[in-house]
Chains A and B, each alone.
Chain A
């Protein structure tokens, strides 16, 4: 066994040694740029195919210029830094990798941009998957009213059972039916996006939940629901909390802390999900980049680092699967708790 492993390692090292020998000498690899390009949104989707091939999937670009002129065209027109209808993808500056336009006086500005980008498409695919999987479950129930689903549907149902009867119901009690659709939609969207982000092949592979806009939107939803459904007790606890008078009267310390808390809770939700998912992608990208960065140190270092990087990447992917579930659950359960705190009355 030991000898087999050793042989495989030596073979791999020699393989990569050969590969570097034939590689391009003059190319300078910039890991930071590559990593952030991967993490960011794009205007088209480079779909990776088997055997190292790839093709460019153009996506619609929808922009409104400052003059109020709508334009809709394929993103392939902007590929490679080309300019189309006065729009181009900025390569540096404040709007790096976003579409910019130049106005009459020569100033570069950002137009209203509602393009279907890579992340938007990935969001739609994830949403579609959520609807399809729930639809499959509903169809099962309509066909077999009193039978437990099998296989994947059974897994789906046990997840719903777990988050509903063990997460939502004990906290929200008789209000569960009202808030459950939002919480479960958010949960499944986050879960599916997280898991799809770990897969490389199309239609998965986009860094959706590692995009702060998505997590911002979800946190905003929780924020709005919490504060809209909040009752008198919730506001009383914030503006007239039951604490010693010195904490309230000369200077409203407690009120200030509680008031800031209204905003920090959803911000924490937003940052937690974003940072977790983004860092998962980041670590994998860094590990892969390590291979290319260390290429100049010679074949032995490269071979060892390749094996190390691949092993660590596999390990990280397993952890990311775990994190995908945990973060989706944490987002859902914290939203539930915040709603629960906002709607709870004195008797419960």
Chain B
């Protein structure tokens, strides 16, 4: 059976064709193909890695932002509380000031009123004194119509003055 017989011509051409093709492919095709495939695989791997890192960074940034937000919120509350306290304090101080000022004014008013009262009393007193002096003068003028009487009175007063001293 010729099916199993070795055939020199076929082997020869097979050798020639195979070596040429192997030469071409080994030099120009397979290194390029394998390198390109590996390069692309590396590129994809690095892309995946980069994406993972980016996701991690984003998560971290989210966490940071959340923490910052919480912190700010806390500070805000604190500030609000603080300002509330200050407000109360200011109001209290203002009230205190107003009260003391009022008291002072009241005091002053009372003082001036008293002054006015005293002045008025003094005026009245002076007036009354003047009036009484005038009245006394009138009385005296009438009384001292006679000299004897006058003399006696002068003596009496002199004595009184002496006693006072």
Give the B-binding residues of A (Cβ under 8 A).
36, 39-41, 62, 95-98, 112-117, 119-120, 123-124, 127, 130-131, 134-135, 137-138, 141-142, 145-148, 157, 160-161, 164-165, 177, 180-182, 184-185, 189, 211-214, 216-217, 221, 278
The answer to whether residues A135 and B21 also contact, given A120-B10, A164-B34 and a CB cut-off of 8 A, is no
Q: Identify B8's interface contact among A112, A124, A138, A214, CB under 8 A.
A: A112
Q: Given the known inter-chain contacts A134-B29, A137-B33, please indicate yes or no for A114 contacting B9, CB distance below 8 A.
A: yes
Contacts of A116 in B (CB 8 A): 13
Please give the number of chain B residues whose Cβ is less than 8 angstroms from any Cβ of chain A in the complex: 34
Q: List 5 A-B contacts (CB under 8 A).
A: A96-B2, A120-B9, A138-B32, A185-B21, A211-B7
Q: Judging by beta carbons under 8 Å apart, are B11 and A217 in contact? A: yes
Whether the Cβ atoms of B43 and A146 lie closer than 8 Å is yes
How far is A113 from B20 in the complex, measured between Cα atoms in Å? 21
For residue B2, which residues in chain A have a CB less than 8 angstroms away from its CB?
40, 95-98
A256 to B8, CA, bound (A): 31
B50 at the binding interface (Cβ < 8 Å): no
Distance of B119 from chain A, by nearest CB (Å):
109
On whether the beta carbons of B10 and A214 are closer than 8 Å, the reply is yes
9 tightest Cβ-Cβ pairs between the two chains A and B:
A181-B26, A141-B36, A134-B29, A114-B9, A120-B13, A213-B10, A127-B21, A113-B9, A217-B14
Q: Cβ of A134 and Cβ of B14 under 8 Å apart? A: no
CB distance from A174 to the nearest CB of B (A): 13
| Interface secondary structure of A, over-half rule | helix
Contacts of B9 in A (CB 8 A): 62, 112-115, 117, 120
Q: Which residue of chain B lies nearest to A178 when distances are taken between CB atoms in the complex?
A: B26
Assembly CA distance A157 to B29 (angstroms)? 12
Chain A nearest Cβ from B5, distance in angstroms: 8
Q: Which of A41, A123, A177 contacts B34 (CB 8 A)?
A: A177
In the assembled complex, the Cα of A62 lies from the Cα of B9 at a distance in Å of 9
**Quick check: A137 and B29 within 8 Å, CB to CB?**
yes
B157 at the interface (CB under 8 A from A): no
Shortest Cβ distance from B6 into A: residue: A213
- Looking at the assembled complex, report how far the CB atom of A189 sits from the nearest CB atom of chain B, in whole angstroms: 7
| A213 and B7 in contact, given A127-B18, A134-B25 (Cβ under 8 angstroms) | yes
> In the complex, A182→B22 CA distance in Å?
6
Chain B: CB-nearest residue to A183? B30
Report Cα–Cα, A120/B11, bound state, in Å.
9
Contacts of A131 in B (CB 8 A): 21, 24-25, 29
Q: Complex: how many Å from CA A216 to CA B1?
A: 17
CB of B102 within 8 Å of the partner chain: no
Contact status A123-B8, CB under 8 Å: no
With a cutoff of 8 Å between Cβ atoms, the chain A residues found around residue B13 in the complex are: 114, 116, 120, 123-124
- A148 vs B40: C-alpha distance when bound (angstroms): 8
CB-based contact B10/A141 at 8 Å: no
Q: How far does the alpha carbon of A347 sit from the alpha carbon of B143 in the complex, in Å?
A: 159
Residue from A161, A211, A221 within 8 A of B18 (CB atoms): A221
- Pairwise interchain contact B3-A212, C-beta atoms closer than 8 A: yes
Cα(A119)–Cα(B11), bound, Å: 11
Residues of chain A within 8 A of B36, CB atoms compared: 141, 145
What are the residues of chain A within 8 A of B31 when measuring CB–CB?
177, 181
The minimal Cβ–Cβ distance linking B33 to chain A, given in whole angstroms, is: 6
CB pair A130 B28 closer than 8 Å? no
Are B25 and A157 in contact (CB-based, < 8 A)? no
Cα separation A131 to B11 with both chains bound (whole Å): 20
**Which chain A positions have C-beta within 8 A of B37?**
157, 160-161, 164-165
Q: How many whole Å from B4's CB to the nearest CB in chain A?
A: 6
Name which residue of chain B comes closest to A148, CB basis.
Answer: B40
Q: Which residues of B contact A62 (CB under 8 A)?
A: 9
Contact pick for A214, options B14, B21, B22, B39, CB 8 Å: B14
Give the nearest-CB partner of B29 in chain A. A134
User: In the complex, A120→B9 CA distance in Å?
Assistant: 9
Docked-complex contact B25 and A130, CB < 8 angstroms: yes
